[in-house]
Structure 1
Amino acid sequence: MELHDVWFVLIAVLWIGYFFLEGFDFGIGVLTKVLARGRPEKRVLINTIGPVWDGNEVWLLTAGGATFAAFPEWYATLFSGFYLPLLIILVCLIVRGVAFEYRVKRPEENWQRNWEAAIFWTSLIPAFLWGVAFGNIVRGVKIDGNMEYVGTFWDLLNPYALLGGLVTLTLFTFHGAVFASLKTVGDIRARARALALKLGLVTAVLALLFLVWTQLDSGDSWSFMAMVIAVVALVGAIGAIRVGREGWSFALSGITIAAAVAMLFLALFPNVMPSSLNAEWSLTVTNASSSPYTLKIMTWCAAIATPLVLLYQSWTYWVFRKRIGTQHLAETH
């Protein structure tokens, strides 16, 4: 296996890690309006991700940096062609981070309510747009012979990509509901389980349609195996939450996300960004990659830094592993 193939796999792993962690993060943000009854329960939901949300976003920064360094042509075409949706995602992530920090800076109810509304919308919009973006990457977009995107923003809003957006939105919200049931106590935990069951059924229908569409359009035997794992894991997650096994359900919903993202990358390989105009103009792991020397240096850096990051983030989750409820909130806010 060549180094550019290795880095394609590593970038896929980074996106899997990001969607696994930020998936329930986005889901919790959406659930602040859907699940919470009153502001105390919103505080409980936000507190479940309070210590970890910023660490989860490190995976996105790393994935973007790795793409820039390992596949500069892919990075350039992707970020120029998808400029508007990626800019919207970036703005949402910035406002979302500010909302987490500023929400408690003043005691006025309107102030806190507005920032909580910002958390909801800046969680929902990226959860949808990430699916749209990856749907277009896998489906193929208008790339010319100069490796430049020549389509428009409206070309990105096609049925396949929009379905991908609905899948990521519902899947992340389901993942977040399972996480909420795993991290809370009392009535909110019971309602999170009930909502997760309903969301799981909707997600299963949308995900099955999207994954089968992907498999028929550009899949192979490896992507088919990943699709089967994703479907089986999602069914298992729904069954586990139905019988109250939140830990198993969360693990299986995470496997669903991992297998679904892996399927997209398997269906994409050896392309990194197919051209819908001419297959010969597609960006591949070969023509979009950096020099072998650059990839070699990156590999050594990743081998040293990645275990340290994983250890630190694992320690953070271990420290904040306990369940919380409204009875754990401070009297003043």
Structure 2
Amino acid sequence: MELHDVWFVLIAVLWTGYFFLEGFDFGVGVLTKLLARDRPEKRVLINTIGPVWDGNEVWLLTAAGATFAAFPEWYATLFSGFYLPLLVILLCLIVRGVAFEYRVKRPEENWQRNWETAIFWTSLIPAFLWGVAFGNIVRGVKIDRELEYVGSVWDLFNPYALLGGLVTLTLFTFHGTVFAALKTVGEIRERARALALRVGLVTAVLAVLFLLWTQIDSGDGKSLVALVVAVAALVVALMANQAGREGWSFALSGVTIVATVAMFFLTLFPNVMPSTLDADWSLTVTNASSSPYTLKIMTWLAAIATPVVLLYQGWTYWVFRKRIGTQHLADAAH
């Protein structure tokens, strides 16, 4: 296997990790409007992700940085052609981080309510736009012989990509709902489990349609295996949720995300961005990659740094592993 193939796999792993981890905290952000009935319950939901949300975003920074270094042509075409949606995502992530930090800086109800509304929208919009972006990457976009995107921003909002956006939005919301059930106690936990069933059923319908469309359009035997794993894991996650096994439900909803992202990259390879104008103008792991020497240096650096990051993040989740409820907010305030 060539180094550019290795880095294609590594970038797929980074995006998988990002969607697995950021997916549930996007989902919890959406739940601040769908599940929480009052301000204490919103505080409980936000506190379930408070210690980890910023660490989850490290995976996005690493994935973008690795793409820039390993596949500069891919990075240039992607970030120029998808400039507006990616800019909206970036602005949402900035506002979202500010909202988490500033929400409790003042006691006024309007102040806190406005920041909580910001958390909701800046969780929902990126969850949808990431699906639109990856839907277009998988489907292909208008790339000319100079390897430049020549379409308009409206070309990105086609039916396939919009369906992809709905899939990521509902899947992340389901992932966040089972995470909320896993991390809370009392009435909010029970309502989270009930909501997870409804959201999961909608997710299953949309996901089956989208993944079948992907398989028919550009899939092969390997992507079909990923499709079956994704759908089966989602169904079993729903069953585990109904049985009150939140840990299994969360793990299996994560498997659904992993298998879905795996299907994206399996249908792409050896392309990284197919051209809908001419297949010969597609960006591939070969014509979009950096030099072998650059990839070699990156491989050594990744081998050293990645275990440290994984150990630190794993330790963070272990420290903050306990369930919380509104009664813990009262204790903390006292």
Give 1:65's aligned residue: 65
Cα distance in 2 for partners of 1:222, 1:2 equals: 20
Cα distance in 1 for partners of 2:160, 2:92 equals: 23
The TM-score with structure 1 as length reference comes to 0.99
Show CA shifts across 1:287-326 (max 9, x none): 0000000000000000000000000000000000000000
Give 2:297's aligned residue: 297
Cα distance in 2 for partners of 1:239, 1:288 equals: 43
Matched, 1:184 2:173: no
The TM-score with structure 2 as length reference comes to 0.99
Which 5+ residue runs of structure 1 have no aligned equivalent?
none
Show CA shifts across 1:18-61 (max 9, x none): 00000000000000000001000000000000000000000000
- For 2:91, the aligned partner's letter is V
Give 2:48's aligned residue: 48
- For 2:67, the aligned partner's letter is T
Report the Cα offset of residue 332 of structure 1. Answer: 4.6
Moved over 6 A (4+): none
Show CA shifts across 1:124-161 (max 9, x none): 00000000000000000000000100000100000000
Give 1:166's aligned residue: 166
Give 2:100's aligned residue: 100
Show CA shifts across 1:244-278 (max 9, x none): 11000000000000000000000010000000000
- For 2:10, the aligned partner's letter is L
Q: Tell me how large the CA RMSD over aligned residues is.
A: 0.8
SS in 2 for 1:277: coil
Give 1:243's aligned residue: 243
Cα distance in 2 for partners of 1:332, 1:186 equals: 19
Matched, 1:327 2:327: yes
- For 2:100, the aligned partner's letter is F
SS in 2 for 1:329: helix
Cα distance in 1 for partners of 2:214, 2:270 equals: 16
Give 1:195's aligned residue: 195
Cα distance in 1 for partners of 2:194, 2:176 equals: 13
Superposition map of 1:187-226 within 5 A: 187-226=187-226
Cα distance in 1 for partners of 2:218, 2:15 equals: 20
Show CA shifts across 1:201-259 (max 9, x none): 00000000000000000011111111111011000101100111100000000000000
Superposition map of 1:82-161 within 5 A: 82-161=82-161
SS in 2 for 1:272: strand
- For 1:283, the aligned partner's letter is L
- For 2:86, the aligned partner's letter is L
- For 1:77, the aligned partner's letter is T
Matched, 1:269 2:269: yes
Cα distance in 2 for partners of 1:291, 1:209 equals: 39
Cα distance in 1 for partners of 2:69, 2:217 equals: 30
Cα distance in 1 for partners of 2:70, 2:229 equals: 29
Matched, 1:19 2:41: no
- For 1:40, the aligned partner's letter is P
Matched, 1:308 2:283: no
Cα distance in 1 for partners of 2:161, 2:321 equals: 36
Give 1:278's aligned residue: 278
Show CA shifts across 1:133-192 (max 9, x none): 000000000000001000001000000000000000000000000000000000000000
SS in 1 for 2:290: coil
- For 1:270, the aligned partner's letter is P
SS in 1 for 2:57: helix
Report the Cα offset of residue 101 of structure 1. Answer: 0.1
Which 5+ residue runs of structure 2 have no aligned equivalent?
none
